[in-house]
Amino acid sequence: MQKLFIALMFAFMLLSCAEGGKSASDEKSPGDTSYLLTANIQGLDSGWAYLYHVEKEQEIPDSAKIVNGSFEFKGNAAHPEFTLLGYDQNGQKKFPLGFFIESGKLTIKGSLDSLHKADISGSATQEEFKKFNEMRKPIEEKQKQLYDQYQMAAMQGDAQKAGEVQKQYESLEGENKALVAKFVKENPTSYVSAFQLAQTFGYDIVPADVEPLYNGLDEKIKTSHFGRAVKKSLDAAKTTAIGSVAPDFTLNDINGKPVSLAAYKGKYTLVDFWASWCGPCRQENPTVVKAYNTYKSKGFDILGVSLDEKKDKWEQAIQQDKLTWTHVSDLKGWESDAAALYGIKAIPMNYLLDKEGKIIAKSLRGEDLLKKLGEILN
């Protein structure tokens, strides 16, 4: 479930609008990669504005002093780049506006209370992004309603309701993927196509669905930041496709003892990626506990792989949720070596292996996990 709602929240953060105006290409000289971004945000009278270049993975974003709601950024963009605009709020940086920047003169006008709806002009790629967001808006509105329902069900501990909402959401996600696929096919030279492929299919990628879309992209789009991200996800997905031998790894358990996945051969094994801070993971844990207790005497085992960074939180969650199987982690969070090996982009995520270590199912949730184990072990 986490993969779905991380994607949704990211989509809301990125949703931005651009009104007409000239594209950057209308005002730049050939070979000139410089840009000038000027902004005026009502309600943001002073302080500092920040510009984060996603593909550069900046540790410290660019900054500009705000004077009477106005500020500007200067830089160079050899090609359209996805960026996030932010500001200080209660001592923390908040980035509610995502958009494409490119060489030339660009402007942003908006209000602090609805910055994600700011008007952006001067970027042809941003115009393409706006058009796509307008096509997807009806789906996003329905997803937002379902997200609110899911949150309410989770707060009330209503697992049945949460499961029903999840199924409705997954149906809408199918519509969203179809929309992205259509856009990508019709716009193979757009940086937005690579961006949407990465954001929409990158969490649980199916090579048969995504590879033809990727192969249809223009070469410059394939080699862009998000194009490379899609290729990386595709390569990882192929190594963890159903029927493949699960990649082996070795990580330490909670006592610092090395544990290898290869040692689980001879048993049906669920490799379960999770973390103490992942709400949907914790909500799923009672089902995983039920599966373990039901089938552990029939040759079933679980290897929990945590994306935690703090050992005390990890151990506490194991005890609280009564997860009595073996758990391993390198405590690197999203930088986990095992997560990178399996191309993990969101959690919870799991892989069911047969006795020879081959992947026979993945991303099993709720009753689907119990049903699959029943088919195999009963």
Last residue of a domain, one of 122, 141, 170: 122
Burial zone of 266 (CB within 10 Å; 0-12 exposed, 13-18 middle, 19+ buried): exposed
Cα–Cα distance for residue pair 91/175, rounded to 1 Å: 39
Instruction: Read off the pLDDT of residues 68-113 as tens digits, 9 standing for 90 and up.
Output: 999 999 999 999 999 999 999 888 899 999 999 999 999 999 999 9
The CATH number that applies at residue 34 is 2.60.40
What are the DSSP calls for 323-339, one per residue? Answer: --SEEE--S-GGG-HHH
- Whether residue 56 is predicted with pLDDT greater than 80 in this model: the reply is yes
- Whether residue 347 is predicted with pLDDT greater than 60 in this model: the reply is yes
User: Residues 137, 121: contact at Cβ < 8 Å?
Assistant: no
DSSP β-ladder status, 119-121 and 250-252? unpaired
In a domain, residue 70? The reply is yes
Looking at the fold, whether 257 and 372 belong to one and the same domain comes out as yes
Quote the percentage of the chain above a pLDDT of 70: 91
Looking at the fold, whether 258 and 303 belong to one and the same domain comes out as yes
| Joined tokens for residue 260 | 């290898």
In a domain, residue 347? The reply is yes
Model pLDDT, residue 147: 86
Looking at the fold, whether 355 and 273 belong to one and the same domain comes out as yes
Last residue of a domain, one of 98, 122, 146: 122
Looking at the fold, whether 64 and 132 belong to one and the same domain comes out as no
7 vs 184, more confident = 184
- Whether residue 24 is predicted with pLDDT greater than 50 in this model: the reply is no
Looking at the fold, whether 264 and 343 belong to one and the same domain comes out as yes
Looking at the fold, whether 112 and 142 belong to one and the same domain comes out as no
Looking at the fold, whether 143 and 163 belong to one and the same domain comes out as yes
CB contact burial 102-118 (16+ within 10 A = b; e otherwise):
bbbbbbbebeeeebbeb
Residue owning tokens 């707060």? 155
User: Structurally, how many domains does the chain consist of?
Assistant: 3
Last residue of a domain, one of 90, 122, 154: 122
Looking at the fold, whether 292 and 327 belong to one and the same domain comes out as yes
Looking at the fold, whether 231 and 134 belong to one and the same domain comes out as yes
In a domain, residue 11? The reply is no
Looking at the fold, whether 355 and 254 belong to one and the same domain comes out as yes
Model pLDDT, residue 167: 83
In a domain, residue 13? The reply is no
User: Confidence class of residue 196 from pLDDT cuts 50, 70 and 90?
Assistant: very high
C-alpha closest to that of 87 among 70, 107, 105: 70
- Whether residue 13 is predicted with pLDDT greater than 50 in this model: the reply is no
Query: What range does the domain containing 343 cover?
Result: 250-377
Q: What value does the CA radius of gyration of the chain take, rounded to a whole number of Å?
A: 23
User: Residues 262, 341: contact at Cβ < 8 Å?
Assistant: no
Cross-strand partners of 111: 42
User: Confidence class of residue 4 from pLDDT cuts 50, 70 and 90?
Assistant: very low
Model pLDDT, residue 86: 95
| Joined tokens for residue 120 | 């952006």
In a domain, residue 14? The reply is no
In a domain, residue 30? The reply is yes
**Residues 6+ away with beta carbon under 8 Å from 193:** 183, 184, 187, 217, 221
User: Which of 51-60, 141-150, 186-195, 237-246 has the largest mean confidence?
Assistant: 186-195
From residue 335, alpha-carbon distances to 146, 307, 338, 345 in Å are 30, 8, 9, 11
